[in-house]
Amino acid sequence: GAGVSQTPSNKVTEKGKYVELRCDPISGHTALYWYRQSLGQGPEFLIYFQGTGAADDSGLPNDRFFAVRPEGSVSTLKIQRTERGDSAVYLCASSLAPGQGYEQYFGPGTRLTVT
């Protein structure tokens, strides 16, 4: 079946602009995660959704970052007033349910470049 998809695959934006990154999880997966991967580093947790609600947003760097999942499926990560330090690959993952018993399947990522 179809895996996790993310759009756009690449996004170049100017400093100070607003961006939205989209994630389509695997159908039927209730848990959705956002991670950020900087060059040469492992993914870093940002936020986790169980259904429509953000169960844990402790990894969001600051209040410029926000994510929604209004219908419990597609999620959008929103970044306001982008800064050059926001440049990274933003990865989305989904799992059948939360917890260690369920593999997290990753999407291909959105490469964000802030100029």
Partner 1 sequence: GENVEQHPSTLSVQEGDSAVIKCTYSDSASNYFPWYKQELGKRPQLIIDIRSNVGEKKDQRIAVTLNKTAKHFSLHITETQPEDSAVYFCAASGGDYKLSFGAGTTVTVRA
CA distance 36 to 60: 10
Stretch of residues binding partner 1 (CB under 8 A), selected from 13-21, 31-39, 67-75, 77-85: 31-39
Single out the residue of 11, 24, 26, 33 in contact with partner 1 (rule: CB under 8 A).
Answer: 33
Q: Please, are residues 73 and 1 in contact by the beta-carbon 8 Å criterion?
A: no
Stretch of residues binding partner 1 (CB under 8 A), selected from 12-20, 52-60, 65-73, 80-88: 52-60
Q: How far is the CB of 108 from partner 1 (least distance, A)?
A: 5
What totals of helices (H) and strands (E) does the chain contain, helices first? 0, 11
Q: Is 56 in the site for partner 1 (CB under 8 A)?
A: yes
